[in-house]
């Protein structure tokens, strides 16, 4: 059984940022990005992606709409990722000697 996981953070754009939240359950993922005019909401009935992978698929479209994306800042991870797969992947990414 897969426990729910929520990832919250901000997409950093040139001159401003927008908050996002991605939740993952055993049934799928849902994404919400607080855009200036209207929130973008998307869900998929397949838990085959990690939350940040789903967010990454939307970044090119956001660049077209809002301008250059300078980065993604993860503020909070709640659930399965804490101490688990996501944390371990981030640790290996930013600390190559642990590979």
CA-based nearest residue to 9, from 97, 86, 61: 86
* 92 or 64, greater pLDDT: 64
Q: Which two tokens stand for residue 96?
A: 């190559």
Could you read off the pLDDT of 27-76 as tens digits, one per residue?
999 999 999 889 999 999 988 888 999 999 999 999 998 899 999 999 98
Residue 97 burial class via C-beta count within 10 angstroms: exposed 0-12, middle 13-18, buried 19 and up:
exposed
pLDDT at site 83: 45
Nearest to 55 by CA among 72, 68, 79: 72
* H/E segment holding residue 72: strand 69-79
Please write the tens of the pLDDT for every residue from 12-33.
998 899 999 999 998 999 999 9
């Amino acid at each position: 059984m897969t426990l729910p996981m929520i990832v919250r953070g901000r997409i950093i754009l040139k001159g401003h940022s927008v908050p996002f939240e991605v939740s993952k359950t055993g049934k799928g993922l849902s994404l919400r990005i607080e855009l200036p005019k209207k929130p973008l909401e998307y869900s998929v009935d397949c838990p085959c992606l990690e939350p940040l992978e789903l967010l990454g698929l939307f970044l090119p479209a956001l660049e077209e709409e809002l301008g250059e994306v300078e980065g993604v800042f993860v503020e909070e991870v709640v659930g399965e990722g804490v101490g688990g797969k996501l944390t371990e992947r981030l640790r290996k990414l930013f600390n190559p000697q642990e590979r």
